Amino acid sequence: MTPIQAAVYDDITSLASRLWTASGTVEGLNTDPKMFSVMLFKRLWSNHRGYTVLFNANLPVESDIILRSGVEASICIAAMHHLGEEFVLLMKRDAAHTVSGQIKQHRDGDEADLVREAEAILRDLLRGLPEGVKPAKLDWRDLATKGQVPVLYNIYRQLSGVSAHVTGMSILPGVEFIGRPTPHDNFRKTTQKSHPLWMMAATLHGALLHAGMIDEVELLAEAVELAQRLNKATEDLAG
């Protein structure tokens, strides 16, 4: 990162830290969109800190995995900002879908005790769904579209292929080519420049929406100012 980008990163980290402290005073039910925003921001803030540690330790693959998780959290915050209680329902449906899949796996493994435990959890989850609504997994493209953050979805897809999962693109950068340059050297240099900006964008966008959700007016104004500085830092990268 350039000194300007590093300064913006530090200020976003400071903002997110203070916003998380403010979030600790919010009270409500876990079905309240405001409380869901707190839970999602907790995940995003944790991812931001983890990414920072791993990036500074020169662990690009590991930091990219955490970055992808942070992008997911930011997409969810954006979707919830626009959908409100509808997003809470989507999360409940996803939870029920996940447990349903686990039950099948336990049955295939002939694990009767785990099947019974998971079925009890599923019954509780299904009671929380409106009549006629079935379990369904989250659709990340749809969430990003409804949250009006297509850029974050593009980042999510790129990280899935080149870093977060075991793919040719994520494994080959560690291969040495004797007598000639490693083909992925330039790619890694590019990602080392862009990925911290992606983390900043995910954290700042989530922080901006979350600050508005919990009525932290001063932190919201600070987030808006930081967004302008981040845009300038991104222009510097492109140049």
- Residue ranges in the chain modelled with pLDDT below 50: 239
Dihedral angle at the C-alpha atoms of 74, 76, 34, 51, nearest 10 degrees?
Answer: -30
Dihedral of alpha carbons 95, 96, 102, 105, sign = negative
- Domain range list for the chain: 3-174+187-238
What pLDDT shows up at residue 239?
Answer: 46
Per-residue pLDDT of 150-192, as tens digits, reads 999 999 998 887 766 666 666 666 555 566 666 566 556 666 7
What pLDDT shows up at residue 181?
Answer: 60
Tokens 């949250």 — which residue? 147
Q: Is the pTM of this model over 0.85?
A: yes
DSSP 215: T
